Structure 1
Amino acid sequence: MPIDPRRLLARPFAPIEHAYAQRDSQIYALGLGLGSDPLDAGQLRYVYEGRDGRSLRAMPTMANVLAYPGFWAREPDTGITWQQLLHAEQEIRLHDLLPASGRVTGTNRVSGLWDRGAGKGAFLQQTRDIRDAATGRPLATVVQLSLLRGDGGFGTGGSGGAPPPAHPMPEGEPDQVCDLATPAQLALIYRLSGDLNPLHADPAVAAAAGFKRPILHGMALMGVAAHAVLRTILAYDDTRFAGMRVRFTAPAWPGDTLRTEMWTRGGTVSLRVTALERGAVVLDHARVDLR
């Protein structure tokens, strides 16, 4: 049965309240590989609370896991062929610094739906607004673009126009390059932040999906790229990190060495990430917006 675009665009989502502690922020950062150098004061800001117990910082990309609505595409009322859903892009916009602990509220909505035609799938965009639960202060907006490979051909009823175009990449050699090694257990740590998809932990599930081993979460890959920018360009000053958008182009494996190439043009850092051992470009047409 094809999806009903009007019903999907109007689908209601209950607000999600999410309380988290410093320990959650630390586990999230460890799931991106921070702390690999215990003498690096920049990395320690995100994994150690400090002698005063109040020095911990939250990684900017932690917005991806706050008040997360879960894999709602599996619900019967959506009509989505969820087995053929592919995560295509992810974007975060930061309106304020994320606290290392707190209580937030997230409201999710389907913000776009574009038909590519029968047999070609459709693009679905969802947007989540994250606010401080006590004050209502906006903290972040998270935008996710998914390719519904099995749900094209519904015709009218979707969104007008077209999905957001890819971020254009500069020509020439990058201005900076950062290589970050990832430990083999990285996906097993990252999943403790809430994404329990067995594709990232169970070798049998990965094999059934056509992979020789469990793959790294796309959100973890995004976080590693954010770490590269914080380390190389911002000297771990996350107050200058205003947003990030990435396009997923190939799976990364836990244990890959990830090379982030960076081109800085004004307040935008364009990114491309390659898994060095395999020569695979795993993130492309990506950017970080600076304050």
Structure 2
Amino acid sequence: MPIDAALALAAAPRSGEISWTPGDVQLYHLGIGAGADPGKADPATDPDELRYTLESRLHVLPSFATVAGGGPPGVIRALSVPGVDVGLARVLHAGQDLTTHRPVPASGTATATSRVTAVYDRGEAAVLVLRTEVTDAEGPLWTEDARVFVRGEGGRGGGRGPVSRPDPPVGVPDRTVERPVRPDQALLYRLSGDLNPLHADPEFARLAGFDRPVLHGLCTYGITLKAVVDTLLGGDVGRVRGYGARFTGVVYPGDTLRVRMWRGEDRVRVVVDAAGRGATVLTGTVGHVRGRGRRVPGRYDEEGRSS
């Protein structure tokens, strides 16, 4: 059954309660490489890494919001919306935008409300945008948009949606770091709730068109944000107000990620390559990076630019 864009867009929002604990945060941080920084002599006990792994000094990386509650990620939740009836093997995660309205607490209970806000026709594929807004007793916590690329569902009419690309960063990066992806990285990361077999099952990966399982795009997303926070933001997770990224290529367990960063007045531009293969796998913007304790409201468009 093809995607029925009108039905998907008209579907009522779905709400549910989510909760998380410090242990969930620690597991997520381990899944994106905390405690394994190759630049540290003893990364497991390094003070800069312990803020991600030790409950007594826990700082929450904002990208934890994408897995908080332990349920399936937006790319899978979108497939249960009325009017969307496609097989998981035809789906890829195209990008993710996140705006944090307050720092993400180390434990909490909140209400998450999701709805499809856009369906674009890209010719060879359709792109769905699933927006999730999360609120607790004190008010809004974060808003995230998952962009879902569905192969073979384009060409049915409708607008293409935003297709402009920001100009690539120019000049020498302010910082470049490399982060190795462990052979078991996807197996560890999926324990935070993303059980898509694409990232673990070789037979399913071949069915989806890959010769072996690939790393979760959101794992690359988290690895990249941690690299920016650790190298350009002094480890201060509170300075991140928004983060938008496009997934432009696949990462395989065992790859080495090269993260290049360009610092701007209020944001950091990033480009991530699979260093050994010369493939660009992520482009994005960590935005609203300001002085400590200053809060800057705003949202991000599809390309990660503040609006």
TM-score normalized by the length of structure 2: 0.84
Counterpart pick for 1:146 among 143, 148, 163: 148
Matched residue, 1:63: 65
Matched residue, 2:77: 72
Is the 8 Å Cα contact of residues 66 and 104 (structure 1) preserved in structure 2?
A: no
Q: Structure 1 vs Structure 2: percent identity of aligned residues?
A: 40
Per-residue CA distance 1:127-150 (angstroms, 9 max, x = gap): 111112xx1411111011122222
Matched residue, 1:254: 253
Is the 8 Å Cα contact of residues 66 and 130 (structure 1) preserved in structure 2?
A: no
- Secondary structure of the corresponding residue to residue 97 of structure 1: coil
CA RMSD of aligned residues (A): 2.0
How far apart, CA to CA, are the structure 2 residues paired with 1:183 and 1:219?
A: 15
How far apart, CA to CA, are the structure 1 residues paired with 2:108 and 2:81?
A: 33
Is the 8 Å Cα contact of residues 116 and 152 (structure 1) preserved in structure 2?
A: yes
Is the 8 Å Cα contact of residues 72 and 195 (structure 2) preserved in structure 1?
A: no
Matched residue, 1:4: 4
Compute the displacement of 1:223 (Å): 0.3
1:123 pairs with 2:96: no
How far apart, CA to CA, are the structure 1 residues paired with 2:194 and 2:4?
A: 28
Matched residue, 1:31: 31
How far apart, CA to CA, are the structure 2 residues paired with 1:42 and 1:194?
A: 26
- Quick one: structure 1 residues 218 and 111, their matched pair in 2 at CA, closer, same or farther if it must change by over 3 Å? same
1:94 pairs with 2:114: no
How far apart, CA to CA, are the structure 2 residues paired with 1:269 and 1:100?
A: 25
How far apart, CA to CA, are the structure 2 residues paired with 1:272 and 1:255?
A: 19
How far apart, CA to CA, are the structure 2 residues paired with 1:26 and 1:74?
A: 29
Matched residue, 1:185: 184
Unpaired runs of 5+ in structure 1? Answer: none
Q: Which runs of 4+ in 1 moved over 4 A?
A: 67-70
The alignment of Structure 1 onto Structure 2 pairs a total of residues equal to 279
Matched residue, 2:234: 235
TM-score normalized by the length of structure 1: 0.89
Compare 106-115 and 207-216 and name the one that shifted more: 207-216
- Quick one: structure 1 residues 127 and 179, their matched pair in 2 at CA, closer, same or farther if it must change by over 3 Å? same
Q: Which amino acid aligns with 1:173?
A: V
Compute the displacement of 1:207 (Å): 3.2
- Secondary structure of the corresponding residue to residue 182 of structure 2: coil
How far apart, CA to CA, are the structure 2 residues paired with 1:210 and 1:121?
A: 15
Is the 8 Å Cα contact of residues 73 and 80 (structure 1) preserved in structure 2?
A: no
Unpaired runs of 5+ in structure 2? Answer: 37-42, 291-307
Is the 8 Å Cα contact of residues 245 and 287 (structure 1) preserved in structure 2?
A: yes
Is the 8 Å Cα contact of residues 129 and 148 (structure 2) preserved in structure 1?
A: yes
How far apart, CA to CA, are the structure 2 residues paired with 1:247 and 1:10?
A: 26
1:111 pairs with 2:117: yes
Per-residue CA distance 1:46-82 (angstroms, 9 max, x = gap): 11112xxxx2121110111125565234448424433
